[in-house]
Amino acid sequence: MGLTLYAYPPSVYCQIVRMALYQLRLTAQIVEVDPFTGTGPNPHPFGLVPTLNDDDFQLTETAAILRYLNTQYAGGRLSPDTPRAIARMVQVQSIVDSQAYWPLVRMVSANASVPHPAAKCRTRL
Ligand SMILES: N[C@@H](CCC(=O)N[C@@H](CS)C(=O)NCC(=O)O)C(=O)O
């Protein structure tokens, strides 16, 4: 079975997980789902993306997925190792997730003049 990532390609959250997989030289089966139309088999309890399956272990939330991949498959080498640096990392991840995603991605990128697959996000504003 191995790793399976349920992902929507334009999603920055999914791209972040895919960058981590690439950086760690991990292979994952990518199952495309569209959280905006409900297309595809989406296991996420809130209908979002991404979700990572590692055999029978299922995980949502990008920061948690990154932390899992980093500790399970990389001995933690992708993150800092001092308490303060770890705290800063978690702080920045939380700020970006809670404060930056909506204004930067949903209100700007998804409404850019250049047509983008995520433009359909606009309909959910
Ligand atoms: N806190 C979540 C946020 C995930 C999230 O918002 N994903 C967006 C990607 S575009 C989504 O699925 N949006 C669908 C919707 O809002 O209906 C994480 O870190 O994974």
Query: Which residue has the least CA distance to atom 6 on ligand 1?
Result: 48
Q: What is the pLDDT of residue 118?
A: 55
Q: What is the pLDDT of residue 125?
A: 39
* pLDDT at 68 exceeding the cut of 60: yes
Tens digits of per-residue pLDDT, 39-53? 999 999 999 999 999
48 CA → ligand 1 middle, Å: 5
Q: Note the pTM of the prediction, 2 decimals.
A: 0.87
Across the chain, mean pLDDT equals 90
> What CATH code is assigned to 3-73?
3.40.30.10
Domain boundaries, the chain: 3-73, 83-124
Q: Is 32 left (phi over 0), alpha (psi -120 to 50) or beta?
A: beta
Q: What is the pLDDT of residue 71?
A: 96
**Nearest-atom index, ligand 1, CA of 63:** 19
* pLDDT at 123 exceeding the cut of 50: no
Q: Please choose, from the candidates 57, 62, 70, 58, the residue with its C-alpha nearest in 3D space to the C-alpha of residue 8.
A: 62
Mean per-residue pLDDT for 83-95?
97
Pocket of ligand 1 (CB under 6 A): 8, 11, 13, 35-36, 48-49, 61-63, 97, 124
46 CA → ligand 1 middle, Å: 9
